[in-house]
Structure 1
Amino acid sequence: MTIRYPNGKRYVPVQQATTGSKNTNPSFSNRGKTLEDELNDTNEYYLANNIAVIHKKPVPIQVVNVRYPARSAAVITEAYFRSPSTTDYNGVWNGKYIDFEAKETKNRTSFPLQNIHEHQVEHMRKVSEQQGIAFLLVKFTVLDRYFIVPYEYFEKMWERMIAGGRKSITLTEIEEMSIEINAGFHPRLDYLGALNALNRNLN
């Protein structure tokens, strides 16, 4: 299937490496899984245990061409993104609205801000203004490290870039302004436990 952006540019998904390792260590058994996979597993755990209701937002797509290889089957062969998406995940937890963007980077020393779009920053700003909990969840894939970057801290780095400063957030800066998530089994990425540690707007 071919999917295109509103400007007609073709969408090419990022290819993820897989591994055949059977090591039971969490960092090995989950290799090959994307951050999205890990978050979906975590959100299913939260839902099943009545901890939170958080889901990945559907992407609005306009279907252009459909092929029918059989009477009972339809295959979408071409589609367009109807509008820019906001952030990846949203839901409710402890009476608070949760909204966040999840990003992966193969960079070892910094997180490139080109991975985030202006309309996503604006969306998180509006969520934060309404007392919702907005943040970035960043995975350094090579290092196998995960961080929650609260929006109010991320905003300062974004404004720095807009003012002509560096176009990335260094790993050292992320370590200073974020909370790191230690990956486990159940849940895989306990980001809500990390939010509790941040003690942000929860009372």
Structure 2
Amino acid sequence: MAKSRTHANRGMQLEKLIDATNKIYRTTGFADVKKVPTPVRITSNNGGRINGMVVKGDLVDFVGVCRGRAVIFDAKQTSTRTSFSLSNIAAHQYETLMSWWKQGAHTFILLYFSERGEHYMLEMPTLSTYWQGAQRGGRKSIPYDVIASQCEPLRAEEGYPLHYLKVLE
């Protein structure tokens, strides 16, 4: 069977890994993090057949709480080996993350470099530096070397498929 490369399915494997981790977090009482449903506007209902359209949402992919602290993040996957393009982040996603971060939430991008098989936690200070620079006409991506040296590498450990909240232990 051919591997799907559509934009809609690109991050499904990553989201499944996060969902499996979230189930264990919930079971162990470590955290409660849930996937934010994609907002849909129902356009018609014909005899039980419902049609709808995806509506631009205000939130990001995941929201929850860990050790009494709000957690909110988006999951992003890239096949580029040399950088992470900021065009993968919508302005409303960045604004939501920044707003929650200013209120004390743990906010980040969970980033997967698929060609390298590596996961990283891109936290707000690093993201904000590059985002603001791009808004002023600077670089529109974060170099892989910066991510590898400044971001928390993530992997399976302690029974978690992807222990992304280990920084809050």
Indicate whether the TM-score tops 0.5: yes
Aligned with residue 136 of structure 2, among 157, 163, 176: 163
Secondary structure of the residue aligned to 1:108 is coil
- Equivalent residue number for residue 140 of structure 1: 113
Aligned with residue 102 of structure 1, among 69, 75, 81: 75
**How many percent of aligned residue pairs carry the same amino acid?**
27
Alignment of 1:50-65 (within 5 A): 50-65=29-44
Q: What is the number of equivalent residue pairs in this alignment?
A: 164
The amino acid that maps onto 2:55 is R
**TM norm structure 2:** 0.88
- Equivalent residue number for residue 3 of structure 2: none
The amino acid that maps onto 2:15 is E
**What stretches of structure 1 move > 6 A for 4+ residues in a row?**
none
The amino acid that maps onto 1:140 is F
My pick for the range that moved more, 78-87 or 95-104, is 78-87
- Higher-Rg structure is 1
1:159 & 1:180 partners in 2: Cα distance? Answer: 24
Aligned with residue 181 of structure 1, among 151, 154, 163: 154
- Equivalent residue number for residue 86 of structure 1: 59
- Equivalent residue number for residue 48 of structure 1: 27
1:158 & 1:52 partners in 2: Cα distance? Answer: 29
Structure 2: any 5+ residue segments left out of the alignment? 1-5
> Is the Cα contact below 8 Å between 2:107 and 2:123 reproduced in 1?
yes
Q: 1:152-187: per-residue Cα shift (whole Å, max 9, x none)?
A: 211001011111111111110111220101235831
Secondary structure of the residue aligned to 1:187 is coil
| Alpha-carbon shift at residue 63 of structure 1 (Å) | 1.4
Secondary structure of the residue aligned to 1:100 is strand
Whether 1:14 and 2:11 are equivalent positions in the alignment is no
2:95 & 2:164 partners in 1: Cα distance? Answer: 22
> Is the Cα contact below 8 Å between 2:67 and 2:168 reproduced in 1?
no
2:63 & 2:147 partners in 1: Cα distance? Answer: 22
Whether 1:122 and 2:116 are equivalent positions in the alignment is no
| Alpha-carbon shift at residue 98 of structure 1 (Å) | 0.4
Aligned with residue 17 of structure 2, among 15, 22, 38: 38
| Alpha-carbon shift at residue 75 of structure 1 (Å) | 4.1
1:85 & 1:106 partners in 2: Cα distance? Answer: 26
Q: 1:64-114: per-residue Cα shift (whole Å, max 9, x none)?
A: 23455xxxxx443x3122342421111111010001111001111111111
Secondary structure of the residue aligned to 1:84 is coil
Structure 1: any 5+ residue segments left out of the alignment? 1-11, 17-31, 69-73, 198-203
Question: RMSD of aligned C-alpha atoms?
Answer: 2.1
> Is the Cα contact below 8 Å between 1:91 and 1:98 reproduced in 2?
yes
> Is the Cα contact below 8 Å between 1:59 and 1:85 reproduced in 2?
no
Whether 1:191 and 2:158 are equivalent positions in the alignment is no
The amino acid that maps onto 2:93 is Q
**TM norm structure 1:** 0.74
